[in-house]
Amino acid sequence: MIIKKKRKVDEINSSSMADIAFLLLVFFLVTTTISMDKGISLVLPAEGNEMEVNQKNIINILINESGRILIDEKPKMISEVKGLVERKIGSNPNVIFSVQTHPRTKYQDYISLLDELKKAKATKISIANPPE
């Protein structure tokens, strides 16, 4: 009868595994960049700079809770906003766009409208408080 000798299984030295894991953790923490959200870049006027504005230089833009847009009380689609704003700026460079939202307006609809105003190169945008 043949008797096989049991070979001793070599063990992996794991005493330095914790050190290696810690060094990898520190390495990835140090080399990882943290993305910062940019947000909406708006230039706000200085406090106390109030001036009278001629009412014919103000264009009211309203957004209701379902995302429908009214420009001077006429319904418009979001795709029509850029062309209309460019025409208004061309006819009157001092025009101010007053954006007013309903309290339950979706944030995405509001941002889409601001993006269209920026694409049309509107620099004078007033963000009006929603009615109570």
pLDDT digits (tens, 9 = 90+) for 60-72: 899 988 888 988 8
Residue 11 lies in a domain: no
**Inside any domain, residue 44:** no
Domain for residue 90, yes or no? yes
pLDDT at 58: 87
How long a stretch of residues is the chain?
132
The ranges of the chain with pLDDT < 70 are 1, 37, 39-43, 49, 130-132
**CATH number assigned to the domain comprising residue 96:** 3.30.420.270
Residue 15 belongs to a domain? no
Q: Range of 112's domain?
A: 55-127
Structural contact between residues 66 and 104, judged by C-beta atoms closer than 8 angstroms: no
Q: In terms of pTM, does the model score above 0.75?
A: no
Please check whether residue 100 lies inside any domain of the structure.
yes
Report yes or no: 81 and 120 within 8 Å, Cβ to Cβ.
Answer: yes
> Is 96 in contact with 57 (CB distance < 8 Å)?
yes
User: If you count DSSP H runs as helices and E runs as strands, how many of each does the chain have, helices first?
Assistant: 3, 5
What pLDDT, on the 0 to 100 scale, is given for residue 34? 78
Q: Give residue 36's pLDDT.
A: 72
Structure confidence at residue 6 (pLDDT): 77
